[in-house]
Amino acid sequence: MFGFDAALISDVLASSVRLGTPIAFAALGGVFAERSGTYNVALEGGMLSGALGAASGVFITGSVFAGLICGLICGMLTGLLLGGLVIKLRVNQLVAGLAVNILVAGLTAFGARLVFGDMAGGARVEGFSTMEIPGLSSLPVIGSAFFMQDPLFYLLVVVGGLSWWWLFRSNAGLDFRAVGENPRAADVAGVRVFRMKYVALAISGALAALGGMHLVLSQVYVFTEGMSAGKGFIALAAIILGRWSPAGAIAAALLFGFFDAVQFKLQFSNPDVPYQLFLILPYVASLAALIFLVGKTRAPASVGTAYIREQR
């Protein structure tokens, strides 16, 4: 095994952040959805649609920025599709979320063949490269983890901060949380409940898409089918572990990223042990964290239920 050395810790931390960022974006999106009263099980689908959107955008236009916009739009559409199912048609949220995931998995696989043609799965696209923050990046241990990342990670930090401020310090955020806790109370107080719920899912889808875009634009520079590989579901656990707060969800996601990074290190350093054993680690960690670390904070009261105004 390996001993303690600063370089190794620094290395593990840096890859934790890199591996945790997609989960963090999705978890942040999930916080918005659940705070508005909807379980967004379609985070996984949001990530995939964002990933394909970004890859095709860049592939067709050659501009990373265009890819970003394209991915965001795909994510929002995924969120709004879920919204239409659960808000308008009042389909069970878990069923609708799973349905969207399956639909998006199929559509993105098909879309990838349309866009990349014969190259599907092998079409490399432009992306972001590491952006060093001068001064801070040379800090020992944490420097490379937090200040030598790609632009999307910095975006995550900014969006996370803004989300916290908006949810807990702004007037609209108070209304928004009221919708998730007690939609009738918000409705009779004059909040546009249905609009809020749709907006929440559009934001949620866009954030999940950013997670998928991080995979394409900052990690592997290529779109592959099913590349989100369950990260959208780990994000669901991160929401609960993070107690429905933006900072908490991001921290929880980075923790899962950390276990993923450790898992990789263990794989490489122990080639004799079947690697599947190490692959379990992030999932065991998320289960254990949910069991031992969750406190008294409860989910937004109305989450999972459809709001029906004319209910007798």
Partner 1 sequence: MAAVLSVAEVSKSFGAVQALNKVTFEANRGECIAILGENGAGKTSLASVLMGLYQPDQGQVALDGTPCELTNPSVALDNGIGMIHQHFSLVENMTALENIQIGLPAAKRTQRALRDVHGICSDFGFDVDFSAKVEDMPVGMKQRVEIIKALYRNVSILILDEPTSVLAPTEVQPFLDEIRVMVAKGLTVLLITHKLEEIVQAADRVLIMRHGRIEGDLVVSETETHQMSSLMMGSGDTGADLSQKVLKEPGRSISNETALALSSVSVVTENGVRLLDDINLEISKGEILGVAGIDGNGQRELSEAICGILEITEGVIVLDGTDITSQTISERIETGIGFVPEDRHAEGLVLSLSVAENTAIRTIQDPKFKNGGFVNRRAITSYADDLVAEYDIRPGDPSLPASALSGGNQQKVVLGREIETASRLLVVVQPTKGLDVGATRFVQQKILEASRRGVAVLYISTELEHVLEVSDRVAVIAFGRISGVVDPTTTSSQEIGMLMTASKGE
Tokens 């929440």 locate to 200
295 binding partner 1? (CB under 8 A): no
119 binding partner 1? (CB under 8 A): no
> How many residues of this chain interact with partner 1, rule: CB under 8 A?
20
| Residue-by-residue DSSP string for the chain | -----HHHHHHHHHHHHHHHHHHHHHHHHHHHHHHTT---TTHHHHHHHHHHHHHHHHHHH--HHHHHHHHHHHHHHHHHHHHIIIIIS---HHHHHHHHHHHHHHHHHHHHHHHHGGGTTT-B------EE-TTGGGSTTTHHHHHEE-HHHHHHHHHHHHHHHHHHHSHHHHHHHHHHH-HHHHHHTT--HHHHHHHHHHHHHHHHHHHHHHIIIIIISB--TTTTTTHHHHHHHHHHHTTT-HHHHHHHHHHHHHHHHHHHHHHHH-TTS-HHHHHTHHHHHHHHHHHHH--S----TTTT----TT--
Window contacting partner 1 (CB under 8 A); options: 8-16, 27-35, 176-184, 203-211: 176-184
Q: How far is the CB of 79 from partner 1 (least distance, A)?
A: 24
177 binding partner 1? (CB under 8 A): yes
Tokens of 108: 């993105």
Q: How far is the CB of 75 from partner 1 (least distance, A)?
A: 29
310 binding partner 1? (CB under 8 A): yes
Among 65, 94, 192, 294, binds partner 1 (CB under 8 A): 192
92 binding partner 1? (CB under 8 A): no
Mark residue 226 as left, alpha or beta (left: phi above 0; alpha: psi -120 to 50; beta: remaining).
left
189 binding partner 1? (CB under 8 A): yes
Among 187, 225, 267, 305, binds partner 1 (CB under 8 A): 187
Among 82, 148, 186, 289, binds partner 1 (CB under 8 A): 186
Q: How far is the CB of 174 from partner 1 (least distance, A)?
A: 6
Mark residue 284 as left, alpha or beta (left: phi above 0; alpha: psi -120 to 50; beta: remaining).
alpha
Among 117, 118, 169, 171, binds partner 1 (CB under 8 A): 171
225 binding partner 1? (CB under 8 A): no
Measured from the CB atom, the residue of 55 and 240 that comes closer to partner 1 is 240
Window contacting partner 1 (CB under 8 A); options: 157-165, 178-186, 224-232, 241-249: 178-186
Among 8, 158, 188, 273, binds partner 1 (CB under 8 A): 188
Window contacting partner 1 (CB under 8 A); options: 112-120, 181-189, 213-221, 257-265: 181-189
Among 81, 152, 156, 191, binds partner 1 (CB under 8 A): 191
Q: Which residues bind partner 1 (CB under 8 A)?
A: 171, 174-175, 177-178, 181-182, 184-192, 301, 309-310, 312
